[in-house]
Chain A
Amino acid sequence: MNKIILIQLLVSSLLIGGVYALISIGLTLIFGVMRIVNFAHGEFLMLAMFACYWMVELTGLSPYVTVPFVVLLLFLFGVIIYVLIIRRTVGSPMVVQIFATVGLSLFMENMALVLWSGDYRTIGSFASSAGFSVAGIQVNYALFIAFLVAITVSLLLFAFVAWTYPGKAIRATVQDRTAAQLMGINIDKVFLLTFAIGSGLVGIAGALLAPSYAIFPTVGTNFVLAAFVVVVLGGMGSMTGALIGGLLIGLIETFSGFFIAPELKQAFYFIVFILVLVFRPAGLMGQRGAEEIGLK
């Protein structure tokens, strides 16, 4: 076994894992605070990738310049979806919470199919295949940038939740919704903010992935499958868990892809998923029972 190959695999898995973490943090944040699983998360990602694609197509900008605009767009989209749909599902029976976002996912995916057809689109970017090498290890630019941003954004988010006033309001809501309300926190605003931030995060992920992956209406499903496993693995609602879980899934995917078969990576997700559910249903960083009520 060549040492270089091993290090190369590690680097590659860290890079892809960072991207998974970025997608998963939005999902787990929304779940942790609102206790709602956004089944349309993958379609939000798809929307972000298409937004990036169209901005690049129409203006000729570099995809990385579009990141702030895509994030803003997804943030606003999150606000709209919250006001139109999600707000009505808070505190509703489970069936409403699940199938409202499942319906949204179905709607978005197929509207994308109608509007933009099922063709695979790519952004011709300098970063898509280019890379640099350090001591014989190849590093892809696009994934490297995505990884750096993922880590930075995660740290910023931790800081936001830990030290700012809205962040504290979010944490208070997670700990005890009723008590937070009694302390004068506007729960509705907290949920709105959380959902919008979660959407914004997936916007970042989408814009960063757009240069390196083909863009098509069902692209979100591929990533969100991994994201769900990451969230369950890390512990539902735990952001640190999502970060660690993302990196772990990156490792599993890269190594199983290299040593066994790349086509089977989804089967490996499934095995990991089952194993976690059997042996540690609360996930790595989650509290016991959190899978049901979403403690942090």
Chain B
Amino acid sequence: MSERLQNKAQLADGPGRLTSRTGNLLHRYRGLLAIAGLLILPIVVNQPYYREIIGLIFLWSAMAGAWNIVGGYAGKFSLGHAAFFGVGAYTSAVLYTRLGVSPWIGILAGMVISVLLALFIGVVTLRLKGKFIALVYLRSITGGSEGLSIPFKPGLLNLTFSSKLVWVYIFCGLMLSVYGISRWLERSKLGYELIALREDEDAAEALGVNTLWAKLASISLSAALTSLGGSLFAQYFAWLEPNFCLSLGLSIQFALFAIIGGMGTAIGPILGAALITPLQIFLRAFGGTATSGLSMAVYGLILILVVLFMPKGIVVEVGDRLRQMFGRGRFRPIPS
């Protein structure tokens, strides 16, 4: 990351002063390079443990990115995104285990249900101009505490693979898709409308933005992506627990990654997840059940510190500092 920033900082001095031609090439193809790096990374890291961590980082970045569409761009903070995740996970898993429906269809079914749920919640809560969506309450409808396990039958049709590597790439693809969607959103009419209504809902409406439509579109998009992630998660772990999949903790985690990385930026959620996921896994590895709460407690502490002292997120704040140090760069997230 810092390398990229420095590259940009160099460029910022103007093309005429750029001494290295390779630097220019690097900069032009940085997107391709980043993707190539992401694709090679799981092959280079051949220990299953670290590979799994990388896969999880990809998955959680994607989920944080999906949260960011509503929370970051539209400024509607949801504390119930785990509901969409759980709907995705359970829809595909239940259809597959009980009725033998291919997970591919289950994924679509989960996304449809999640979007319907999102529209329902959206129509109900977004009517309020109040700024938080108390989706918290959602988790209560789907009670029951039975776990659900998915039988291991490898195959493309069953969306079950014996190789973890395939999963790492699937999660990588998911993350890149969410990133791509976010970048597209930033330049689309919908994206501008969302940012306008985040900054001042009444003003946006007065200027002709159909705020209800924009909000519903963003929450549906976000819910569908979250549901997709949930279904994939279910197929990957082959074991579901409502205590996890529908928990408030998970909802907060999605938000946390995005906030720590930088809300309203496409890259923020990815960096947030990359920063926090390893921390979480190492904290868990430290203690047994006695300290299982420790990682969540640390999350809480980090969340408090970040919102109090770096409210724009680590990425944006550090980016700002670097920009000050190296002159103006092109690293400019949408101001919030």
Which residues of A come within 8 Å of B, CB atoms?
37, 85, 88-89, 92-96, 98-100, 102-114, 117, 217, 221, 225, 228-229, 232, 263-264, 266-267, 269-270, 273-274, 277-278, 281, 291-292
Contact = CB atoms under 8 A, between A and B. Distances in A.
Contact of B304 (A104, A263, A267, A292): A104
B173 interface: no
A291 B130 contact: yes
A173 B38 CA distance: 54
A64 B140 CA distance: 33
B127 interface: yes
B1 interface: no
A153 B304 CA distance: 32
Given A93-B336, A113-B293, A277 B128 contact: yes
- Contact size range, B: 35 or more
Contacts of B293: 109-114, 217
Contacts of B124: 274, 277-278
Contacts of A108: 300
A219 to B, nearest CB: 14
Contact of B307 (A103, A217, A270, A278): A103
Contact of A85 (B141, B290, B304): B304
Given A96-B311, A103-B303, A269-B137, A114 B297 contact: yes
Contact of A114 (B259, B290, B301, B302): B290
Nearest to A294: B130
Given A85-B308, A111-B293, A274-B124, A99 B143 contact: no
A95 B307 contact: yes
16 contacts: A37-B132, A93-B336, A94-B75, A95-B77, A99-B77, A100-B304, A103-B303, A107-B299, A109-B296, A114-B290, A225-B136, A266-B140, A267-B140, A270-B138, A277-B128, A292-B131
Interface in B93-134: 124-125, 127-132, 134
A140 B132 CA distance: 38
B294 A270 contact: no
A274 B136 CA distance: 12
Given A114-B294, A269-B137, A292-B128, A105 B300 contact: yes
A85 B300 CA distance: 13
A278 to B, nearest CB: 6
A108 B293 CA distance: 10
Contacts of A281: 127-128
Interface of B: 75, 77, 79, 124-125, 127-132, 134, 136-138, 140-141, 143, 248-249, 252, 255-256, 259, 263, 290-297, 299-304, 307-308, 311, 336
Given A107-B304, A225-B136, A292-B128, 9 more contacts: A103-B299, A103-B304, A106-B249, A107-B299, A107-B301, A111-B297, A113-B292, A266-B141, A273-B137
A131 to B, nearest CB: 29
A166 B161 CA distance: 66
Contacts of A232: 134
B131 A291 contact: no
A113 B249 CA distance: 14
Contact of B125 (A89, A107, A264, A277): A277
B20 to A, nearest CB: 40
Contacts of A110: 293-297, 299-300
A291 B126 CA distance: 12
A239 B297 CA distance: 32
